Structure 1
């Protein structure tokens, strides 16, 4: 993974121009193999590249650039001559490969939820209406509660941030 990050120019030491050329050349070949006639085809091809990266690499993932940037790149790419199209694509990919970052809310939720889930389970075992909770093993209860908490934080953050974003 460290080598890949270095190839993309996001790691510690900068890779050689040959390595960047190799990785970007492979990406461009995958990109050009698709029949791109309009913006939707272009957009799907870019999404496919990001999907390939994110599914192949464990751990960190890359954020897809906003649609407006992809549209701008498409118009530049379409207007460019055949020999310049590759440069436009490579410039777009190197400038827009940004790592997905966790926000503080997700990290705090991931740290706080497991002990809170254990405390809730122990307290719930003493409540007569919740006696069934004793039947659920801790090994299932704690991870399930943690995953549900993380999902709810992610969804609520997306809804909250979307409501704060200015309408364009």
Structure 2
């Protein structure tokens, strides 16, 4: 599945038959679902991305925004026959299947935290109140600190992103 979806992203040079086979199977599984209303249509698209993301560990694809899916739904409803609906679906899948790339902050945190954790542990061993830190093996301490640092970076980025989106929505409402 990972190889097939990488062809959709344009990283390979698949034959037209390969792309048609992949998108055809996705389309047939998509059409089997009830897609008469936008929530049903959106749920069907989310199911496709769930299939992409659960196919192989480590491969995760960004889900298109609600507005993009809604625009596709409008085009879908306007299409008068099955062939046009398939064309709308295939174009949308080709445009919207994007590999999720890790942020630079996450990569930097993952690289900087292990040495910093070792330095902090060595410094903490000299503090009388933190003598218990000597008991924790480095093999457990460093990955735990790194994992907690990565989680805190992701949580803080998500909180910051939500605040920015909320602020932009408020600004848009004030302007209208």
TM-score relative to the length of structure 2 = 0.86
Give the 5 Å matches for 1:2-151.
Answer: 3-11=3-11, 13-83=12-82, 84-151=84-151
**Counterpart in 2 of 1:155?**
155
Quote the offset at 1:88 in angstroms: 0.8
Q: After superposition, what is the alpha-carbon deviation per residue over 1:58-112, rounded to whole angstroms, capped at 9, x for unaligned?
A: 3232100111000111111122123211111111110111111122111110100
CA distance in 1, matches of 2:152, 2:130: 23
CA RMSD of aligned residues (A): 1.8
Query: Conserved in 1, the CA contact under 8 Å of 2:26 and 2:48?
Result: yes
Quote the offset at 1:132 in angstroms: 2.1
Unpaired segments of 5 or more residues in structure 1? none
Runs of 4+ residues deviating >4 angstroms? none
TM-score relative to the length of structure 1 = 0.90
Query: Conserved in 2, the CA contact under 8 Å of 1:9 and 1:15?
Result: no
CA distance in 1, matches of 2:138, 2:5: 38
Quote the offset at 1:5 in angstroms: 4.8
